[in-house]
Structure 1
Amino acid sequence: MTETTYKPVVVWSKPEAERAGTPLLVLFHGYLSNEQDLMGLVPGLPEEFTVAAVRAPVALGPGFSWFPLMHEPDFSVDKVTSAVADVWGWLDSVKDQHSSVSVLGFSMGMAVATSVMRHRPDEIAAVVGLSGFVVPADGDAFFQDEAVKSLKPAVFWGRDQADQVITPDKIEYTHAWLNENVNLTKVLYAGTGHGINAQELAHVKEFLTYKVLNAK
């Protein structure tokens, strides 16, 4: 895939005629899911946003994946950056009609959302990560982490400490990286497991309203 030919499957919350000038929120689903999975969040998000849910590029099992799982032998940082570069190729074709771009990812989708921000941090207004993780960059220049650290972008990270899906090593790395590099809002939700509850969605709405819609 190249940035000029990649056209992901995208589901939009608003018809094209109603999108111009609105803030854009891009949703990235989790492993083995699809672009419809997170659209159920839309009624709980600020209505000012145009929401676009993007399908991951690799068909796998019952759904799609952004890259191999990190413990699998075919995982590489290059596969992460390739997927994120393709996302940016698509974003470049739509972002100019919007007042800002924010990203939200669930599980593996949080790895994509944070990586999208880490590649071009000055172009992302806010990041929401739910029950997910940040990918170790291993010094890859694709990740502009020094620029991230300078800009301190607004990031919301919600999770349940009892989540059995995201392994402790990923949580430890994510916690350390976010604390060092971003303006972090971190909230724990007991009883949620590897999911999203109503209280968390309400907090996400408040975060996006404060950090994007009411940003000074």
Structure 2
Amino acid sequence: MTADYTVEWTRRESEREGTPLAVLLHGHGANERDLLGMVPGLPDELTYASVRAPVSMGFGAYTWFDLDVERLAYSSAAARQAVEDLWEWLDSVRGQHSSVTLIGFSMGMALATSLLRIRPEAFQAAVGLSGFAVDPQRGEGIEDFFNDEALSSHKIPFFWGRDQADPIIPEEMVEYTHKWANSTVNLTKVLYAGAGHGVVPQEISHVGEFLRMEVLGRRVSAQR
């Protein structure tokens, strides 16, 4: 049975067929409305689906899996289950679209990069904002989950935006993510001073340019 998610779509179902899909994955303590503010600055040729994380924290806040915010500690088994459930939903909708791109903020970036690492062939490109990639050495239950060797052979375009002074993501997570990205994806990394743990207008503009080049540009090339 496919996992049930609350999803905000930017197109009616009858208008989605054949369009490139971009899946928006919000951060810890947010909801499916959080990243929709980016959409006006992104290419309108894409269909955007903003997914609400399944674990309620109350008062309209949700998380993909339980997180110790002070230490950014989490259960690897819970993270794995969250990724597997999200893949089930994605697999149920992706056939309607010409391609699938992932856009994740903070914990949503952890979900996006994890999806790349289990099904690299399923994705056109990915965007990570102020987040991190899951280190499989941090806990049990996820060591055999990722296939980074397969991912590195695909060299998927990946845009990573962050503030070097991000007060939330610890340096060791940034270092791991940087090492991982350099060895597995076609990385575009941009730093945004003053963004903190957030997204700034210039960053949205750059993400838009990235999508036009790596999603829409490749789509046009494939049609020639």
SS of the equivalent of 1:25 reads strand
> Would you say 1:24 and 2:60 are equivalent positions?
no
Write the distance in 2 (CA, Å) between the matches of 1:158 and 1:81.
Answer: 24
Task: Kindly state the Cα deviation for residue 93 of structure 1 after the two structures are TM-superposed.
Answer: 1.1
Q: Do the aligned residues in 2 keep the contact of 1:28 with 1:106 (CA within 8 Å)?
A: yes
Task: Kindly state the Cα deviation for residue 106 of structure 1 after the two structures are TM-superposed.
Answer: 0.4
Q: 1:162 aligns with which of 162, 165, 179?
A: 165
Task: Kindly state the Cα deviation for residue 68 of structure 1 after the two structures are TM-superposed.
Answer: 2.5
Q: Deviations over 1:174-205 (max 9, x none)?
A: 11111111110000001111111111001000
Q: 2:47 aligns with which of 46, 50, 70?
A: 50
Residues 72 and 165 from structure 1, CA distance in 2 versus in 1: closer, same or farther, beyond 3 angstroms?
A: closer
Letter of the structure 2 residue corresponding to residue 67 of structure 1? F
Superposition RMSD in Å: 1.4
Gaps of 5+ in 2: none
Q: 2:64 aligns with which of 63, 66, 70?
A: 66
Write the distance in 2 (CA, Å) between the matches of 1:110 and 1:116.
Answer: 10
Gaps of 5+ in 1: none
Letter of the structure 1 residue corresponding to residue 20 of structure 2? P
TM-score by length of 2: 0.91
Aligned residues: 212
Which shifted more, 107-116 or 76-85?
76-85
Task: Kindly state the Cα deviation for residue 164 of structure 1 after the two structures are TM-superposed.
Answer: 0.2
Q: Which residue of 2 aligns with 1:197?
A: 200
Q: Do the aligned residues in 2 keep the contact of 1:22 with 1:48 (CA within 8 Å)?
A: yes
Q: Deviations over 1:116-162 (max 9, x none)?
A: 11110011100100000000123622211110111111100000011
Q: Which residue of 2 aligns with 1:148?
A: 151
Q: Deviations over 1:48-94 (max 9, x none)?
A: 10000001111114411112336466x22221111111111111111
Letter of the structure 2 residue corresponding to residue 36 of structure 1? R
Write the distance in 2 (CA, Å) between the matches of 1:66 and 1:159.
Answer: 21
> Would you say 1:133 and 2:132 are equivalent positions?
yes
Task: Kindly state the Cα deviation for residue 18 of structure 1 after the two structures are TM-superposed.
Answer: 0.8
Q: Do the aligned residues in 2 keep the contact of 1:128 with 1:204 (CA within 8 Å)?
A: yes
Write the distance in 1 (CA, Å) between the matches of 2:63 and 2:31.
Answer: 8
Q: Which residue of 2 aligns with 1:181?
A: 184
Task: Kindly state the Cα deviation for residue 6 of structure 1 after the two structures are TM-superposed.
Answer: 1.2
TM-score by length of 1: 0.94
Task: Kindly state the Cα deviation for residue 166 of structure 1 after the two structures are TM-superposed.
Answer: 0.7
SS of the equivalent of 1:59 reads strand
Q: Do the aligned residues in 2 keep the contact of 1:32 with 1:61 (CA within 8 Å)?
A: no
Q: What is the percent sequence identity of the aligned residues?
A: 55
Write the distance in 1 (CA, Å) between the matches of 2:20 and 2:99.
Answer: 5
Letter of the structure 1 residue corresponding to residue 81 of structure 2? S
SS of the equivalent of 2:136 reads coil
